[in-house]
Chain A
Amino acid sequence: MLRRLIGSVLVMWAVATLVFFMLRLVPGDPIGAILADAGGPEEIANMRRKLGLDQSVFIQYVKWFGNMLQGDLGRSIYGSRIPVTQILVEAIPRTLSLALLAFLIAVIIAVPAGIISATRRNSVTDNAVSLLAFLGLSMPDFWLAILLIIVFAANLQWLPAIGYVPLADGFWPWLSHLILPAIAIGTAFSAIIARMIRSSLLEVLKADYMRTARAKGLTTPMIMLGHALPNAMIPVITVIGIAFALLISGAVVVENVFAIKGLGRVLIQGILNRDYPVVQGAVLVVSAIFVFSNLIVDLLYGVIDPRIRLN
């Protein structure tokens, strides 16, 4: 476990270092964008010096790395130079709220759909579920997001079109702002998970121990919940783990459509603006999420199947 944790930290360091240097290799100069209408060559040089961007990339890296080890991720180089930690601390709860709700929606749809589809293989229901799954997979999330806004916000006016309200301001205001974006993100993931459950269950249902279970006189629900599902969940859990990490880091487009500044939006905005400290901080968090999602998935394997043990 300790070796695994050390490995995880090394992966995060490698990713952050790679991003640090790659970001400076790609074209794009933040200074011109920062100064916009406010300066000529002298001001550009002055701003570059002020932000330490006139130093060699290696010196910049050493400084950033030293500060990072002390918990200082630096400050955004734009506007009022807000600390990166503050930007991330504000963004993470929004992303977590959205990801958890989207995840919940995906699982609520996917599990029954996958089971029904597998147990009624090649039936009308199976075909219908498969068709819906393909539709869910094919629809771009931004398109679905806009469709949801037009129908449920603009026309029916049931739910708000944009924005985010913290949970502290009330459960319903929080939930109402998240339902549409969560559906937009969760739909595609529910399709993936449903297809995964279906194929995995089909494999398991063919196994000898399933016949034994039936021979013992167990009911179908007992067989499904007690024997089939736990055994079918190993590959599904792997997919869910990756999906959850993707939900947290990659809901950029939907966050943009619904004007929610989550982690993905912070990262993309940082990249577009060449806001180096923000990108580096966000990449660290995202890589941590991926590394620890994988770790949790690995631990879950052992919980679901006692035969699997982590060394």
Chain B
Amino acid sequence: MTKPDKTVLKRMRALWDDAHDFDPKDPMFGLSAKEMSGPKLSRRATLRLLAASGALTAAHLVPGVSGMARAASHGGGGTLQCGWAGVAEIQTLDPAQIGQVLQFQIASNVLSGLMHIDAALVPQGDLAETWEVSEDGKTYTFKLREGVTFHNGDAFDADDVMYTFERSSDPDKSIHSKVLANVASLEKLNEFEVRFTLKAPQASFLTKTLERASGRAMTIVSRGAIESMGESNYGLAPVGTGPFKVTEHVLGQGVTLEKFADYYDPERPKLDKVVIRPVDGVEPIAAALEAGDIQYIGGNPIAAQLIDRFKANSDLVVDVQPGPGFQSVWMNPWRDPMKVTDFNKPIEELKKEKGFMVRLALAKALDRAAYVKQAHFGYAVPGYGTINPAMAFYYDEGIAETSEQAFDPEGARALLAEAGFPGGEGFPELDLITTPAQKRNGLVVANIYKTVLGIKVNVTPKEFSVGIEDFNNMEFDMRLGGSGGDYDPDDGVVDWMKTSSKFNGRTRDMDKYPTGYFSSTEADALIDQQSVTANLDQRKALVQQANQITSDKVACGFLYHPVDVQVRHKSVNFPAESRIPGLHDFDRVTLG
């Protein structure tokens, strides 16, 4: 990883501390309406907002990612050849249908939003020129950028914002309609002014809901283009107001982006063309990069076994940053021998139940350090909860020691023996579902269980569509899986750890498995409370308490948090200001 410079680190730490060092009593997170309004947020305001939304990450502490970093001074032009890893085709670029990070990584270069975060995760006005926030934090008024045109020549104005909102709010047209659930209304004030009224203050409104890439719900689309092209063709080659236009998209072969000459910023983009080819294979994409067929890798995370090989190649640049997300070993609490049908008991009482003893033994036996080394070649962080290191403020650095799941081979063996399986004797063989790509990781887990507990776990690779169905129906023994792109505590605890979480056995038989894979009324209450708590320290405490409960009560065996790795040829000048974790914005990239 990049080693931080001490002076810069000190300065960034001061900014970091300031962002969290307040105790607001109002829904404005300690900021005035003026401070919340734009054309530009002050660094202090931005950091506080990001901290409040949970989007302030450890990346801020790593020099080279800061928005203060200078842009590359190289000239423009040229074609950048990219390989999109681990994917056979880019199924869609229509924000209303985008369900994968690797898709909005491309769409972010083609379509604009009202806002777009920069490398420091600061929300910058994209199509919004200025904005004002009401004192109660519930009304956002945006002055839109004038003179902006879509790639097809249509002019952009407030009607396009209204149309996008209308389209995204319709669940038949967009899979992201729920993102706008907190928006009470959107009004067109005039040709270049719109006003959002929220049902409740939302600190993440600018950074998440209105964000052009990951937000997707308010990524501005062209009504004229959709009507003339049809939804399908629009999904292949969307017309937007972004720095690049899609000139060709052959499903399965790749996407060609060309410079949009009328982009609102005449300084961008620098490149003439970007060619993106999906490559679904570890060795082929490595060979293509080494052969010079491609100069940049985007898409799914790069296979860990390639990272050291790329680092050893002096022609390549490898940059590793904290990544948001978590991966776990899920254990079905409705199946023996790890059956626990009621988690609403004090932990000491739970520890007397055989099913819980087994769950805890399985969690304690996870030698995460060995797993990270063997499965990810050291490129991951041991995990004990849904809250990841990228959510730095909310991340509990002590959880590795305080969690009941902390690695303890002796304790794990003792628990298993107490549950009636001394040395793993008589323990039934369990199936661990993985995707085919994760099979190796599953084997590492199985080997750890064999070594530590003497039990046999059969790794069962299943295609994602099959594995996810089993998981949704609660028809599994164990499953390796988790989440990515989690910047806010809500992404972890709300989406995964509540009884009503969207991933908690979403198509399960409610009579057979009434509470899904985990249910704790205490955790539910804490999670609900943190979602509406403006006070950052209080929210942090609530998040960490909920995280601790889910970890201690073994909602799953938490395993690791991923890292974000960027690999490019040294001729590709990727300015630090464009290095947004998880994204690949090419508008400032040059070839030198």
Contacts and interface: CB of A to CB of B under 8 A. Distances in A.
A261 B279 contact: no
Interface stretch (B155-163, B191-199, B247-255): B247-255
Contact of B506 (A33, A44, A90, A154): A44
B258 interface: no
A80 B92 contact: yes
B300 interface: no
Given A37-B495, A50-B172, A162-B294, 7 more contacts: A35-B99, A37-B485, A43-B175, A78-B92, A79-B235, A80-B94, A82-B251
A27 B470 contact: yes
Interface in B81-112: 83, 88-89, 91-94, 97, 99-100
Interface residues of A, number: 54
A242 to B, nearest CB: 26
A157 B315 CA distance: 15
Interface stretch (A123-131, A213-221, A266-274): A266-274
A265 B465 CA distance: 17
16 contacts: A28-B466, A32-B471, A33-B464, A39-B502, A43-B171, A50-B172, A75-B232, A76-B91, A78-B92, A83-B232, A91-B252, A149-B284, A154-B287, A161-B291, A259-B278, A266-B252
A161 B293 contact: yes
Contacts of B277: 162-163, 259
Contacts of B250: 90, 261
Interface string B478-506: 00000101000000000100000010001
A38 B175 contact: yes
Contacts of B292: 157
Given A43-B171, A162-B284, A28 B465 contact: yes
Contact of B502 (A40, A80, A82, A273): A40
A164 interface: yes
A259 B232 contact: no
A104 interface: no
B568 interface: no
Contacts of B13: none
Contact of A265 (B92, B252, B254): B252
A60 interface: no
Interface in B401-423: none
Interface in B438-473: 463-466, 468-472
B293 A162 contact: yes
Interface of B: 83, 88-89, 91-94, 97, 99-100, 171-172, 175-176, 178, 231-236, 250-254, 277-281, 283-285, 287-288, 290-294, 463-466, 468-472, 483, 485, 495, 502, 506-507
A164 B253 contact: yes
B322 to A, nearest CB: 20
Contact of B253 (A163, A269, A273): A163
A43 B503 CA distance: 12
A275 B310 CA distance: 36
Given A149-B283, A259-B280, A80 B252 contact: no
Contact of B91 (A79, A83, A94, A266): A79
A94 to B, nearest CB: 8
Contact of B507 (A41, A50, A149): A41
Nearest to A146: B283
Interface in A134-184: 146, 149-150, 153-154, 157, 160-164
Highest count of chain A CB atoms <10 Å: which of B277, B287, B507: B287
Nearest to A160: B293
Contacts of B175: 34-35, 38-39, 43, 47
B288 A79 contact: no
Contacts of B232: 75, 80-83
Nearest to A156: B291
A162 B279 contact: yes
Nearest to A91: B252
A80 B234 contact: yes
Nearest to B294: A162
Nearest to B468: A32
Most buried by A among B94, B236, B281: B281
A32 B99 contact: no
Contacts of B284: 146, 149, 161-162, 257-259
Given A28-B469, A79-B97, A154-B287, A272 B463 contact: yes
A164 B277 CA distance: 10
**Of listed A32, A76, A83, A91, residue having the most chain B CB within 10 A:** A32
Contacts of A154: 287, 290-291
Nearest to A153: B291
A46 interface: yes
Contacts of B253: 90, 94, 163-164, 259-261
A90 B251 contact: yes
B50 to A, nearest CB: 21
Interface in A244-299: 256-261, 265-266, 269, 272-274
Given A27-B469, A154-B291, A256 B281 contact: yes
A162 B64 CA distance: 32
A100 interface: no
